[in-house]
Structures are given as C-alpha cells and as structure tokens.
Amino acid sequence: MKKLFGSLLAVTVMFGLAACGGKEEKAADDFSIKDRYTLDKTTPAWKLDKKEETTKIKWYINSDWTSLPFGEDVTTAQIKKDLNIDIEFISGDDTKLNAMISGGDMPDIVTLTNMTGQAAKKADAWAVSLNDLAEKYDPYLMSVVNKDTFKWYELDNGKTYGYPNYSNTKADYESGNIPVNDNFVIREDVYNALGKPDVSTPENFVKVMKEIQEKYPEYTPMGFTTIGETSGPFLDKLQDFLGVPLENEDGSYYDRNLDEEYLGWLKTINQVYRDGNISDDSFTDDGATFDEKVKQGNYATMLVAGTSGQGGNFTEFTKNSGTKYIAIDGPTSTSGRKPTLNQTGISGWLSNYITKDAKDPAKVTQLFTYLIDEPGQILTKYGVEGVTYDYNNEGKIDYLDEVKELEKTDNDAYNKKYGISRFLYFNNDRVNALKVKQESALTQIQEWGKGKLVPHFVIENINPDAGTAEARSNEAIETKLNTTIISLIRSKDEKTFDATVDEFKDFLKQNKWEDIKEVKSEKMKENREKLN
C-alpha cells in the first residue's frame, strides 16, 4: 500500500509541476522597481530600496518545523528593521507542497529538505532562477553566493533556483573551520585508570572492553547513538573511521558495505556484543533515554554520530561527575588507510527557492542577498554587535557576559530573547573563525578531528531517480542493509555472522544490484562534471 501511495504521489507531483510550468513567470516578468531604486552591482539592493510600506513575506518550510515568532528576538528584529519586512512561516509535508504547486497558489519562499526530490529537480516549473532575479532586482547577489555551491545547484537549463544552508565546499573542508561531527569517545577517568589504552586494533578493542567490564561493572563498556530504524553509526560513519574508499580506481561506484576491513570490524564489534559488553537496550533506546544515560555517564565508551548534538549532554555529565568524555582513536583501518570523516556536503541541508508567485520578488531577492552576505551571516550566527557581542582586542567576536550567563542558566529564555543561531536558513560555518575560542565539552573532541575530514561530494545524491525500477530496488536494499548491519552485530556466533553476510549478498543479486551500481557510477560521473 505504501509503495502504491508513493507511486500515486509521484504522478500527482509530475502533473502539478507540468501545470505550474505553463504558468506565466509573473514574478520575473511583471514586476517593476522603477520608482524604488536603480540597480548597482557594488551595493546590496536592500540598502537602496526606498519602498516605505512593510513587505509581508510568506515562507513555507517543507518539514514539521517550529519557528520562533519573527521580529520578537534580537536577531530577527534586526532583519525586520533593516529590510522593512515581516515574515509568516508555515510548515507542511510533501502532500501540502504538491497541493500548493498543483493549485498554483505558492508562498513567496519555499524551503526544501531534499535537493534530489521531484520538486527540486523541477524547480524551474514553480520557482524563478536566482540568475534572473539577480539580473532584474539585485546584481549584488551574484557577488556573495558561493560559486561552487551555485554551480552544484544548477539545473540542466544552466540556471540555479535553490540556495542552501551549510553547503561546505572543498575550500571549506580545507579551512579548518568545519568541526568533525562523528567520534569515538571514552570517559577520561576510565581512560586514565586503564593506562590510556590503545583501542584502534580489533584485538585491543575486544581486550579493553573486557577490562572495562571487569574494573567498572557499573558501566556499559560500549554505547552508541540511537539506532531507530537505521543502522545508527555502524554504516557510513564506521566506514569513514576506517577510510573505506568512496570509489574504485577507475572512478566507478565502490561498494563500501562489503569492504573486507569494514566487515572485519563489524565482526569485532559482534565479539564485543557476545562478550556482554554491549547492552541489548542500546538497540532500542530512544533519544531521551540515551540522553539521560550520557548525562549520567553510563557508557564507558561510545561511538557517536552527530557529536555537536551531544554538547549539552556532555556538559551536563561533566558538571555532575567532575570528569568528561574525550575523543580517542577508535576503530581504525588494519591496512593503514587514513580516516575519511565526513561532514555536511556541498548539497547542504535546507535549500531555499523564490517562487513565481512571490508578491514582491525584488524584496525577497534582497532578503536572500542579505542573509547570504557576511554581515547577515554574522547577525544570524552571533546576534547584534553591542547587544549580544562585542569585538575583543584581537578583533574576535566575544559574547557579552549577560548573554553567556543566560545561555547557561535558562536556554529557552536565551533563545527567545536573542534568537542566536536560530534563523539558520542560509547559515554556514565560514564565520566560525570570527569568534573567540572558548573551552567547552566539545573542544577536545573536535580538536581530535583536525585533518581527518575528507569531502564525500562525489557520492552525494547518487541514488537512482524516484519512480524507476532501480530506485525501488535500491530502497529495498537500503532497508535490508540496515536490518542486516544490526543483525550482524547481534549475531550469536561467527557462523551466523557469515551466513547473514551471504544472505545479504544473495539479496543484492536478486534485486539487480549491478544495475543499481551502474546508475550510481553514472551519477558520480555527473557529480565530477559539476565539481570540475
């Protein structure tokens, strides 16, 4: 039934996009700024616009998203003042988005969470290209967009419609401003008491987990971030720690899931499980349960996916215990391959579009420019100078004492009052370097990762296109893969482990995995062309 609904939904999307594609591009063609300002490539249009009436902007986010009221915190109040705008946020899902597209009644801005979906791929049917908007309303926009990101989002017609947040380019990876977000961590008191053991080899990993069990029976030797319906940190995250290749030498798709070293480490973790050093509860714990266990320090070690999201838990643990979690070299390649940890890629996270129904496309384009430009990045990341931060003697941003104190004592009130890092629809990590360095529960953990990040751009968005036979098979394989990984870790013995691997290989053959690999290889080739 689910597959049938998905097929019907895809058809609905295509009909809706086709209908919308026939609509006159009124946002691009019928709007005039004649009496408001003259275009200037060297000055952002929002500084030139003489429009006195407040522009009301409707902004749709295709997700179950809760936004703070616009204009009531320090950050968004400044945006409201500078641009003379008011924003109404609405949220929804694909069904709601498709209905809006089909009905031809779109908001001014649409934010998508998936650049590979039909809505994004057919954005030219319902959105106006940023190329055209910049030419007509704000040429300064083209001087502030990241050229690599802009190229990556280009559609087949040579124009770019969406612009994302947290799009990291090769230069960003090389800058050192992006922190690692996956780690193997250990309680520092346990680490020191055991003589700072090496757990980077399979043999030592099993041995140290046994030592923890013997010396600290009150702790679970190994924990990990929540699984849910996925394989948690045991798929691509573990592969990245082991430096599993992204591609074959000829540039074709490399099946990382069947890499021998990776399977070897899964067998090692299975041994840890069979030794009783991984709790069965860890496979079913929800986020709140896991958070509480981290705060209490129940896990001696953890494989963490999404380290930044654990900052609050790690801080609470340190406050309660007097020790802390630190990052060390965990599972490591047995053949000398270097870690190739990943972060948000060039596709970013959320992508933003200006629709053909935008009531004032000039003002909305100005908003894009404002938020992408560095002053807008600083505002949305750090707030307002003199109100939330000042520059120190070294020219670094330093939060005011009262701001730091409120964040520590009442985080909800802090968010409501200042809105710092909440209006993140165009944010990136490039302004991280502007802030004074402060010691936190994540400082050492993120320092450990310096030099270990490697772009995975070539394998971004390489799944088969929705609606194809390959896509259906690939979805089945991904579901099977997630359950297989967990089954491998929980295998009762080595014989069962090997049989589970063989069963998965048979499943791949039955679902024409070789055909899917060809599609992925072709999409990797297209990615290289985008990346020059």
We report the CATH number of the domain holding residue 275 as: 3.40.190.10
CA dihedral 382, 383, 387, 389 (to 10 degrees): 10
Q: Give the predicted TM-score (pTM) of the model.
A: 0.88
pLDDT tens for 462-502 read 999 989 999 999 999 999 999 999 999 999 999 999 999 99
pLDDT at 128 over 90: yes
The verdict on 244 and 331 lying in the same domain is: yes
- Closest by Cα among 288, 286, 294, 290 to 317: 294
Task: Round to whole Å and give the CA distance between 517 and 147.
Answer: 30
Mean pLDDT of 101-130: 94
Per-residue pLDDT, 11: 40
Q: How many domains does the chain have?
A: 2
264 Cβ contact list (under 8 Å, min separation 6): 202, 334
Q: What 3-state class would DSSP assign to 248?
A: coil
Strand pairing class (325-327; 182-187): antiparallel
The verdict on 485 and 362 lying in the same domain is: no
The verdict on 55 and 164 lying in the same domain is: yes
The verdict on 61 and 104 lying in the same domain is: yes
Q: Which percentage of the chain shows pLDDT scores above 70?
A: 95
Strand pairing class (351-354; 163-164): antiparallel
- Reported confidence tier of residue 176, pLDDT bands at 50, 70, 90: confident
Which of the 8 DSSP states describes residue 68?
P
- Reported confidence tier of residue 10, pLDDT bands at 50, 70, 90: very low
The verdict on 352 and 332 lying in the same domain is: no
Q: Are 442 and 307 in contact (CB under 8 A)?
A: yes
pLDDT tens for 342-352 read 999 999 999 99
pLDDT at 22 over 70: no
Backbone Cα Rg of the chain:
25
Strand partners, 111: 61, 352
Residue 3, in any domain of the structure: no
Residues 388-400 as b/e (b if ≥16 CB within 10 A, e otherwise) read bbeeeeeeebbbe
Per-residue pLDDT, 412: 86
- Reported confidence tier of residue 13, pLDDT bands at 50, 70, 90: very low
Residue 429, in any domain of the structure: no
Report how many helices (DSSP H) and strands (DSSP E) the chain contains, helices first. Answer: 23, 11
Per-residue pLDDT, 411: 80
Q: Which of 294-308, 353-367, 379-393, 426-440 has the lowest mean pLDDT?
A: 426-440
Residue 518, in any domain of the structure: yes
Strand pairing class (299-305; 55-61): unpaired
Residue 378, φ and ψ in degrees, nearest 5: -65, -45
Per-residue pLDDT, 17: 52
Per-residue pLDDT, 395: 96
pLDDT tens for 370-415 read 999 999 999 999 999 999 999 999 999 999 999 999 988 888 899 9
Mean pLDDT of 172-198: 96
Q: Are 59 and 107 in contact (CB under 8 A)?
A: yes
The verdict on 156 and 216 lying in the same domain is: no
Residue 15, in any domain of the structure: no
Can you read off the two tokens belonging to residue 32?
């005039």
Of 383, 405, 438, the position where a domain reaches its end is: 383
The verdict on 196 and 246 lying in the same domain is: yes
Residue 132, in any domain of the structure: yes
Residue 391, φ and ψ in degrees, nearest 5: -90, 135
Mean pLDDT of 24-49: 85
Q: Are 200 and 470 in contact (CB under 8 A)?
A: no
HEC readout, 294-313: HHHCCEEEEEEECHHHHHHH
Up-side HSE of residue 263: CA atoms within 13 Å toward CB? Answer: 17
Can you read off the two tokens belonging to residue 163?
């612009």
Q: Which percentage of the chain shows pLDDT scores above 90?
A: 87
- Residues spanned by the domain of 53: 39-171+347-383
Of 383, 405, 436, the position where a domain reaches its end is: 383
The verdict on 363 and 235 lying in the same domain is: no
Per-residue pLDDT, 159: 98
Strand pairing class (109-112; 351-354): antiparallel
- Closest by Cα among 29, 116, 142, 154 to 368: 142
Task: Round to whole Å and give the CA distance between 269 and 208.
Answer: 12
Residue 358, in any domain of the structure: yes
- Reported confidence tier of residue 28, pLDDT bands at 50, 70, 90: low
Strand pairing class (182-187; 299-305): antiparallel
Residue 219, in any domain of the structure: yes
Q: Rounded mean pLDDT of the chain? A: 93
Greatest CA separation for the chain:
79
The verdict on 196 and 315 lying in the same domain is: yes
Residue 401, in any domain of the structure: no
Bigger pLDDT: 222 or 309? 222
The verdict on 504 and 370 lying in the same domain is: no
pLDDT at 24 over 50: no
Mean pLDDT of 236-252: 98
- Reported confidence tier of residue 109, pLDDT bands at 50, 70, 90: very high
- Closest by Cα among 454, 459, 116, 453 to 255: 459
pLDDT at 9 over 70: no
Mean pLDDT of 123-152: 98
pLDDT tens for 58-84 read 999 999 877 778 999 999 999 999 999
Mean pLDDT of 20-34: 63
The verdict on 230 and 378 lying in the same domain is: no
Task: Round to whole Å and give the CA distance between 89 and 66.
Answer: 9
pLDDT at 316 over 60: yes
The verdict on 83 and 208 lying in the same domain is: no
